[in-house]
Structure 1
């Protein structure tokens, strides 16, 4: 069995899980952006050759992609959509072109919605820091987002035959099971891979046995960035939370405080023109914060 796995930063974990479950398979993995570029430029003809020979594709939806035309049309497909969950980190926002707290030589667009909204209405850094509290989270709908984002994620993966309801119940016993919205702990990816293969390549007995991988799979994303679960949000789920961001460039991990993150965000916004203030989700947040 020749297998190709294509996703984003979770590719290596999916690769390792599938390789552990099926040690006799020949498996190759590629990041989505790299795979599309290789096909566009022809710089890795061996990759396109392998796609044409594949028996099984595991990865992102293929609609409209170069991957679809290069892949063996007879290959089986196990689609695993992009994983993104804001339930534990509802304050995370994405702003195009923004150099955020995790930027390292290139824009890293993740930022704080509260900081954006506060800056838009002229709050100082000190005033902004004071907005990180329970009543503000309530007004912004942060506590409601967990339920709606869980339902969205379960439904989205369910479209591809991946049942996550029971898996989610387990994840919720493991405290902060996402480092940041797109980076889960390894057991989350183990469960997604297991459930994606269940009923097609894993029978009930094999699926049950594979649960042990939750405890043995290395946590590859633990060395990446960490956005804290704010204390008032964490308490709703029975753990402590905090206000320490962790930036982990190679060989030099660095902790950042709430005040430090706000300073970085404000400095970055100061280098941009004011067009960011008109972004709808920022304008809406700013309007809410005016009434706090």
Structure 2
């Protein structure tokens, strides 16, 4: 049995789950984030004809050519499409920042704090920016409402693709957030998606309470953006203020507490203030944050 799995960083774990469910099967993953995949898109599209089953994320950029959803649906009609997971309910302050030149770096790769970036554009000092991470500000920015909104949006998005996950949400977050960042879910989420996709393909995967016992959780080595304690308390979950970059090889972990994360963010921003201002102005969460802070602090 040969399986192909095509999509973003989440498909690595999905491919591992399929391999676990079907020992001895050949499972090949094509990572859409790898530039070589886009360069070989036409050749990969031909290779897919040699697989018994193809599982693909529906969200593909234009650069993926014949591997995009609309085309793959016609050329490979037996493909099972899967939704990618994006969820801001635990980390509503976590955003990407980009201007006309591209994505801006942060102390944890590309994940920024909307609040910190907004504070920088308003000319606030680092210590004052850190003091803004509190329940009053989070309430004004709508952070406490984000979990309910994000949950409804994700359930609806999955349902449109034929996946029912409403009853799974409480299980995913029984004792912790089910996301490491806004687009990196824990293994429990991806294992359920793999199971549902396999069922759509006509399989009945074996029951496994927690595949992370065997697979670990690969995305846990990628950046960590915390569930802030003030938000966690409202969800009945433990929170903290520790941020972490990707763990590479045998290098030691270097977590950042909130003051250090803000200081490192500001250090980066000082090297590109115009780009940060443009990126904040463009962003649907950072711009309102800046406007709300300006009004709250009576600036300008």
Q: TM-score range by the shorter chain?
A: 0.7 to 0.9
Please list, as runs of the form range in 1=range in 2, the aligned pairs for 1:164-243 lying within 5 A after superposition: 164-203=165-204, 206=205, 209-213=207-211, 215-243=213-241
Unaligned segments of structure 1, at least 5 residues: none
Return the match for 1:101 from 97, 107, 118: 107
Alignment of 1:4-43 (within 5 A): 4-23=4-23, 25-34=25-34, 35-39=37-41
Consecutive unaligned residues of structure 2, counting only runs of 5 or more, are: none
The Cα offsets for residues 45-75 of structure 1, whole Å up to 9 and x where unpaired, read as 5x45421323322121277632255799355
Match of 1:278 in 2: 281
Stretches of 4+ moved more than 6 A in 1? none
Report deviation, 1:283: 2.6
Map Cα deviations across residues 6-61 of structure 1 (whole Å, 9 max, x no partner): 12112221111111222354321110133222226xxxx5x454213233221212
Report the secondary structure of 1:247's partner residue.
Answer: coil
3-state DSSP of counterpart to 2:27? strand
What is the TM-score when the length of structure 2 is the normalising length?
Answer: 0.84
| Residue of structure 1 aligned with 2:81, choices 63, 79, 82 | 79
Q: Is residue 88–residue 176 contact of structure 1 (8 Å, CA) maintained in 2?
A: yes
Separation (CA, whole Å) in 1 of partners of 2:3 and 2:158:
21
Instruction: Name the SS for the 1:114 alignment partner.
Output: helix
Counterpart contact for 1:19–1:27, Cα < 8 Å: yes
How many equivalent residue pairs? 279
Q: Which residue of 2 aligns with 1:59?
A: 56
In 1: Cα distance, 2:136 partner to 2:90 partner: 17
Could you say what secondary structure the match of 2:6 adopts? strand
Structural RMSD (CA): 2.3
SS of residue matched to 1:291 = helix
1:136: Cα distance to partner? 0.7
Q: TM-score, normalised by structure 1?
A: 0.86
Deviation at 1:77, TM superposition (A): 1.5
- Which of 242, 248, 268 does residue 246 from structure 2 map onto? 248
Question: 1:234-272: CA deviations, max 9, x gaps?
Answer: 112223311111223412221111111111221222222
